[in-house]
Amino acid sequence: MRVKTYNSPLREQQARQTRERILQAARETFGARGYGATTLADIARAAEVAEPTVRAVFKTKPNLVEHLLRLAVRGEDNELQLHERDAFKRMLAASDADTLLERLADIAASLHSRSWDVMEIVAGAASSDPAIAELHEQRRRARHANQTQVARRLHKLGALPDGTTTEAAADLLWLYTAPENYRMLVIERGWSVMRYRDWFRSAVAGILT
């Protein structure tokens, strides 16, 4: 005899809302207290759920940070990585370098505006938690891999000047896309996101000259 499974749309919605509430509470609590000083119990209290609920959903504090980072970077809590998303593919599909860099600037401004604080949490926790240190390094490697795709596309478009290799262009793009630049200019110096976006666009254009 087959046992029927029952999936309640309401139950699924409630579970999704609980997950989102825990992630938001973690983001705020880590930001205010720091990773090391924050416990899962602190996050549970901020999210107004029981601590076992947090553990059931995210298991450990490093795992919670990993999900928080994924949500912040990708913009949605799903399995698609940044380079698999439509905006990134559309950027690489540009038929000329100017359009590509315009779209890259849009991606950088949008990404950093929604993720800079989580990047700070991860960077701060990396010095004391080996699991977070590995997560931090993975993110740095992924960003370089993404910018290598951009550099290769620029090379294919014939936009890189003589003497500039795809490797050198990728390194410079990796430098310019660093979240630290956004934090220093927008958060510390008070630039608008649009001003950062325009600076970024001008900076990466220098690779092509």
Between 61-74 and 130-156, two packed helices, what is the crossing angle to 10 degrees?
20
Which residues touch 167 (CB under 8 Å, ≥6 apart)?
148, 151
Q: Which residue has the tokens 């926790």?
A: 125
pLDDT of residue 7: 59
Q: What percent of the chain lies above the pLDDT cut of 90?
A: 81
Band of pLDDT at residue 209, cut at 50, 70 and 90: confident
**What is the spatial distance between Cα 79 and Cα 85, in angstroms, rounded to a whole number?**
10
**What is the spatial distance between Cα 88 and Cα 107, in angstroms, rounded to a whole number?**
8
User: DSSP state, 129?
Assistant: -
Q: How many beta carbons lie within 10 A of that of residue 208, not counting itself?
A: 15
At 9-27, the pLDDT tens digits run 878 888 889 999 999 999 9
At 164-202, the pLDDT tens digits run 999 999 999 999 999 999 999 999 999 999 999 999 999
Band of pLDDT at residue 79, cut at 50, 70 and 90: low
96: left (phi over 0), alpha (psi -120 to 50) or beta: beta
| Residue closest to 140 by CA, chosen among 110, 179, 114 | 179
